[in-house]
A and B are shown apart, each in its own frame.
Chain A
Amino acid sequence: MSTEAITMPRPSAAPVRSVPDLPDPALVRAYADLPVFRSRPDVLVLGNPYVRPIGAETLADVDWARPVSGADALGWHALAAHRLLVNIYESESVILPKEGLSVAGDFDAFYGPEQRRLRDLVRPGLERYAYGFLDSAVEVSGRWTLDALVAHFTECVTEAGAAENVVMRTIEAARTPRAAAATYLIQLALDGLTEASAMARNLAGAYGPEQSELFKIFIDEFGYGVYQSKHSTIFEKLMRSCGLHTDIHAYWHFYLTGSLALINYFNYLTEDHTKFFRYCGAVTYMEWIFAQGFAEAGETLKKVYGPDADTHYTDEHAHIDQHHGRMTFENLLQGLAKRHGERVVPELVRGIEEIRLLLRLADEEFIGQLRWVDTLDQHRAAGARAVAGPDPGSGRAVELTAASPFSTRTYDEDRVLVVTDGAVDLHACGEGEPHRIDAGGALLVPAGRLHGVRPVTGRAALRVLRPEQPAR
């Protein structure tokens, strides 16, 4: 991850900004220890939309007193915070299993009073923990006018339109393009299966013609009340045609931190109506760039999966988001600036800028993950070299059985996994064959790379080492 883009040395005269009211670790642990959030052995989470394993035990090395910063915006502690936030936000929307409520106990736990009590206690602190860094990473200054807003938006979308779509090029060039494309679709599924739920929070109230403009976009997203046209329904068709599961959060363990940060961002903004204008800036930028982005994604999916890929979803966005981009830009963004004056323009600009930053971080992380998955053989060799010396580094032993909870994580520094007994399957993207490592094998896991391991047979043992020297 590039930190250059989001950190800037401050002059010595500038005061240190303090971040008050961080999450209470005991409450966070209690929330993560709710029955539906406890760890389980399953790699995929199927048939139960309420199960979102976090596992209080996996949070042991998260320092809740050290909020996410511009230098580690997608670090392990950010991933942990964003997993919690997804559950917090989604517990405020209605999600039912399509096959009927056979998991009523989990329904009760997910929406029940203890979840709500803890959710309301931990959410403000978690939001400050995960997004407080944006206050200093992005700074809007000077006297912003409507003309400057229009000029800035035009500059941003022109730049985005002219840029090569590195994400799609990376998928097409991957060693296993299907696994790479599946990784992309899995990231989309985080939001695609509940699409526009955050937008729904900003529909109520009374704010003039701009409200009606947002509502028109919302009814497009919801297929004008026709279930088969609802965007989440056509997204399911896309997933199914590519051989992927359509259960909500089936791929819970494989959402990358940047994807979570992007989707949570819209809930973060819509939970707090003081951030309404920021939301409108961010949603306008996204709606504008979606048209081109989804047109390119559709082409890539056709190349990778062939003609059987049902790209109705990407085609629909490539078309309708041309309208949504224009509608939000002309009637929402400019409409709000004209109606409420220049005092709201800095917040509109901040929304544009914050979402651009989060998008950039998410793209960098996604590409990094794909490149690592593509070069696991080289990383095995690098891992073996790292532990071949006289001092292989400190580490901790991990014993795994078939009943051990499965979870994925990242590290903020390189780690080497050394299998000391049995064999393990490394899961790094949710689809495709896992990468098997037998006893004696090692693998370098660079900082920030998402992974989880399962024993191949009944039991396995490994050591997680921190290499003394850079292994790459």
Chain B
Amino acid sequence: MTATPLRAVRLDLAEHNTVLAGDDRYFVFHSPEGTALVLDRCPHRGGPLSLGAVEPGHRRLICPWHRSRVSCAVLRRRAVPAVRTGRRMVAYLPAAAPAHVTRRRVLANDPPDPEARRPLFDSTALEVWT
């Protein structure tokens, strides 16, 4: 029925915050704008955004590898199509790879880090997806 076969992946947000699908990993990202399932890969060099820290104001997420700054709004716009009712979320991923849900540490959902705005080295502070 669909041109691009998609698979429904069900998460209980009290139990799960991560989806593993083939070589890709996705994490549930909470922000003041809402909850989204986002690809756990920094667009700079593929760092784990789930282990990053959000800036105060939730405007950007800082990748732990090179402190690249990724716009939270863009992350949400490019998130996996998903719908949440209460704590149940259904997300749609390409059906080609098997997917399973799990729970991992997600630092990106911790309270904003006041230090996050300060780059380690100015030369490595990258703006991506802003």
Tell whether A and B belong to one assembly.
Answer: yes
Q: Give residues in A with beta carbon < 8 Å to B.
A: 4-8, 10-15, 70, 137-145, 147-148, 150-152, 154-155, 349-350, 353, 356-357
Residues of A within 8 A of B77 (CB): 143
| Contact (Cβ within 8 A) B6 A147 | yes
Report whether B58 and A141 are in contact in the complex, using a CB–CB cutoff of 8 Å. Answer: no
B105 CB, min distance to chain A CBs, angstroms: 15
Interface residues of B in 69-103 (CB under 8 A from A): 76-88, 90-92
In the complex, B22 has a CB within 8 A of chain A: no
B6: which of A5, A137, A141, A148 is its contact (CB, 8 Å)?
A148
Residue contact A152 to B8, C-beta cutoff 8 Å? yes
A15 to B54, CA, bound (A): 16
> Are A6's CB and B91's CB within 8 A?
no
Residues in A with CB closer than 8 Å to B36 are: 141-142
Q: What is the CA–CA distance of A120 and B58 in the complex, to the nearest angstrom?
A: 39
State whether B58 touches A13 (Cβ < 8 A): yes
Across-interface contacts of A144 in B (CB, < 8 A): 81
Chain B residues with CB under 8 A of A8: 13, 84, 86-87
The residues of B that contact A139 with a CB separation of less than 8 Å are: 34-35, 83-85
Closest to B84 in A: A139
User: Do A147 and B35 touch across chains, with their CB atoms under 8 A apart?
Assistant: no
A142 touches B82 (CB 8 A): yes
- Tell me the minimal C-beta distance from A348 to chain B in angstroms: 11
Residues of A within 8 A of B7 (CB): 151
B85 touches A353 (CB 8 A): yes
Could you name 26 residue pairs across A and B whose Cβ atoms are closer than 8 Å?
Answer: A5-B86, A5-B88, A7-B86, A7-B87, A8-B86, A11-B109, A12-B111, A13-B30, A14-B32, A138-B83, A138-B85, A141-B35, A141-B37, A141-B76, A141-B81, A141-B83, A142-B78, A143-B78, A145-B4, A147-B3, A147-B6, A151-B92, A152-B8, A152-B81, A152-B83, A154-B1
Q: How far is the CA of A425 from the CA of B47 in the complex (A)?
A: 70
Contacting residues, chain B, for A5 (C-beta < 8 A)? 85-86, 88
Query: Which residue of B1, B76, B83, B109 contacts A150 across the interface (Cβ within 8 Å)?
Result: B1
Select the residue from A6, A138, A142 with max chain B CB neighbours within 10 A: A142
Q: Chain B residues near A356: list those with CB within 8 A.
A: 85
B86 touches A141 (CB 8 A): no
Known contacts A13-B58, A142-B79, A152-B92; decide if A6 and B8 are in contact (CB<8 Å). no
Interchain CA distance A280-B36 in the complex, whole Å: 24
Residues of B within 8 A of A4 (CB): 86-87
Residue contact B4 to A147, C-beta cutoff 8 Å: yes
Q: Are B8 and A13 neighbours in the complex by a CB distance under 8 Å?
A: no
Interchain CA distance A154-B6 in the complex, whole Å: 11
Q: Which residues of B contact A6 (CB under 8 A)?
A: 85-86
Contacts A148-B81, A154-B1; A11 near B30 (Cβ below 8 A): yes
Give Cα A369 to B90, complex, Å.
30
Partner of B90, one of A11, A12, A13, A152: A152
B92 touches A148 (CB 8 A): yes
Q: For residue B123, which residues in chain A have a CB less than 8 angstroms away from its CB?
A: none
If A139-B35, A154-B1 are given as contacts, then 4 extra A-B residue pairs at C-beta distance below 8 Å, sorted by A number, are A5-B88, A138-B85, A145-B81, A152-B92
Minimal beta-carbon separation of A415 from chain B (angstroms): 28
Bound CA span A5–B14, Å: 11
Residue of A nearest to B109 (CB): A11
On whether A137 and B1 interact (CB within 8 A), knowing A142-B80, A142-B91, A143-B78, the answer reads no
A150 and B90 CA atoms in complex are apart in Å by 14
- A155 in contact with B90 (CB, 8 Å): yes
The answer to whether B32 touches A15, judged by C-beta atoms less than 8 angstroms apart, is: yes
Q: How far is the CA of A15 from the CA of B83 in the complex (A)?
A: 20
Nearest residue in A to B80 (C-beta to C-beta)?
Answer: A142
Contacts of B35 in A (CB 8 A): 139, 141
Flag if A142 contacts B37 (CB, 8 Å).
Answer: yes
9 smallest CB-CB distances across A and B, nearest first, come from A142-B79, A148-B81, A141-B36, A151-B6, A142-B81, A8-B87, A139-B84, A11-B30, A144-B81
User: Is B119 on the interface with A (CB-CB < 8 A)?
Assistant: no
Min CB gap B39→A, angstroms: 10
Smallest Cβ distance from B128 to chain A, in angstroms?
18
Tell me, in angstroms, the Cα distance from A144 to B32 when the chains sit together: 20
A147 / chain B contacts, CB cutoff of 8 Å: 2-4, 6
B86 CB → nearest A CB, Å: 4
Q: CB distance A13 to B81 under 8 Å? A: no
- Known A142-B36, A155-B8; judge A13-B83 contact (CB<8 A): no
Known: A8-B13, A141-B83, A144-B81. A151 touches B2 (CB 8 A): yes
Which of A11, A12, A141, A148 contacts B84, CB < 8 Å? A141
B112 within 8 A of A: yes
Shortest CB distance A8–B (Å)? 4
Q: What string of 1s and 0s marks CB contacts (under 8 Å) between B36-67 and chain A?
A: 11000000000000000010001000000000
Please, which residues of chain A bring their CB within 8 A of the CB of B13?
8
CA distance A356 to B1 in the complex (A): 22
CA distance A141 to B13 in the complex (A): 14
Chain B min CB distance to A64 (Å): 25
**Least distance between B53 CB and chain A CB atoms (Å):** 12
Q: How far is the CB of B61 from chain A (nearest CB, A)?
A: 12
Question: Can you name the residue of chain A whose Cβ is closest to the Cβ of B92?
Answer: A148
**What chain B residues lie within 8 Å of A143 (beta carbons)?**
77-81
Question: Inside 8 A of B78's CB, which chain A residues have their CB?
Answer: 142-143
- How many Å lie between the Cα of A356 and that of B86 in the bound state? 12
Contacts of B88 in A (CB 8 A): 5
